[in-house]
Amino acid sequence: MGLTTTARGEVSVVRVDGQLTVGNRQELKATVQAGLDAGARKFLLDCSPTGYIDSSGLGALVTIAKRVREAGGQIRLAGLNDDLRSLFELTKLDTLFAIYPGIEEALQGF
Amino acid sequence: MGDPGALALQRLPGRPTDGVELAFALRLPSDVSLVDPAVELFAHHCFAGINASRHSLFRLRVSLAEALANAIQFGNGSDRLKVVHIHAELHVDHIRLRVQDEGSGFNPSIVPDPRDPALLESPCGRGLFIIRHLAEHVEFNEKGNTIWMTLPRS
């Protein structure tokens, strides 16, 4: 997995390349935590280059979302492919996350 | 961290009378950093020469990653002295995967539904639920330390 963080105004856009799994979930947690520590409060996870996410990756996203909310921030997801979208629907995690088709849609009103 | 380059996939002969074209086996050390390389190794060999759909690849990758994570963390307790045994049988239209850990097993029938509102924000407990939805068929041995998963090979 490769993570790239860019700023779009107040929003930290974290691009998640490859897979988010039990083997690398801590990297994403650390990246978002570093953003929180630096004062960022709006996070957009760009999953358009994400191949697959396992349950550990989903669990990491749940933990990250909780930390961001507790810090008074918001998190959005964008660019999920059909398989990933169905995984969120299957586990009902689509009810916990604000999910947008693409980055630009997610940035609107953020 | 384990060395992915040390993963040695063993190629086994097929059993035409059982419809098995080819089989592979791997002994995986109990190290979660080796899950992704092992998944990619099996995805590559299980679909070699086949124009597989992205959906079929997704099903195999996620199901195998879940089974390996469970085997390493819960079955073997992340004990590096224990290994996870992976075995794949390639049939003409499906793949039968077996993942076995060296733990004492568990009862798969009492795993709670992660969609329960009380569990929705839990960071864990979704693995087996996801496997059961992505695989065509799932079985366990009586001890509960071996899972068989049938997935499409197309």
Q: Is A55 in CB contact (< 8 Å) with chain B?
A: yes
The pLDDT of residue A1: 74
Q: Under 8 Å CB-to-CB from A68, ≥6 apart: which residues? A: A32, A36, A41, A43, A74, A75
Which candidate from A21, A24, A96 shows the least CB-CB separation from B121? A96
More confident residue, A60 or B6: A60
* Helix (H) / strand (E) containing A64: helix A55-70
**pLDDT given at position A63:** 97
Instruction: For residues B48 and B82, give the distance between their C-alpha atoms in angstroms, rounded to a whole number.
Output: 30
Closest chain A residue to the Cα of B72, Cα to Cα: A22
- Average the pLDDT over B94-108 and give the result: 97
B2 vs B59, residue with greater confidence: B59
Mean pLDDT for the stretch of residues A58-83: 97
Return the amino acid letter for A107.
L
The alpha-helical segments, DSSP class H, found in chain B are: 35-46, 54-70, 127-134
Q: What is the pLDDT of residue B100?
A: 98
Q: What is the mean pLDDT of residues A60-85?
A: 97
Q: What pLDDT digit, counting tens, does each position of A25-59 carry?
A: 999 999 999 999 999 999 999 999 999 999 999 99
Question: Euclidean distance between the first and final Cα of chain A, in Å?
Answer: 26
Q: Residue B140 in contact with residue B146, Cβ under 8 Å?
A: yes
Q: What is the mean pLDDT of residues B130-152?
A: 98
CB A87 within 8 A of CB A53: yes
- Rg (Cα) of chain B, in Å, rounded? 15
Residue A23 pLDDT: 83
Cα–Cα distance for residue pair B71/B67, rounded to 1 Å = 6
Structure tokens at B75: 């079955």
Q: What's the mean pLDDT when you consider all of chain A?
A: 96
Quick check: B148 pLDDT over 80? Answer: yes
Count CA atoms closer than 13 A to A72's CA, side-chain side: 3
| Count of beta carbons in the 10 Å neighbourhood of residue A107 | 17
Phi/psi-derived region of residue B49, left when phi > 0, alpha when psi is between -120 and 50, beta in every other case: left
- For A61, nearest residue in chain B (alpha carbons): B123
Average pLDDT, chain B: 95
Predicted confidence (pLDDT) per residue in B60-97, tens digit: 999 999 999 999 999 999 999 999 999 999 999 999 99
| Residue in A51, A56, A91 nearest the CB of B115 | A91
Q: Is B72 helix (H, G, I), strand (E, B) or coil?
A: helix
Q: Which of A16, A21, A27 to mutate to test the interface with B (most CBs of B within 10 A)?
A: A21
List the structure tokens of A11.
């929003």
Q: Could A62 and B35 be called an inter-chain contact, meaning their C-beta atoms sit closer than 8 Å?
A: no
Above pLDDT 70, what percent of chain B? Answer: 99
* Residue B49 CB neighbour total at 10 angstroms: 5
Model confidence at A75, in pLDDT bands (50, 70, 90)?
Answer: very high
Q: Which among B101, B127, B38 is positioned nearest to A56, based on CA atoms? A: B127
CB of A27 within 8 Å of a chain B CB? The answer is no
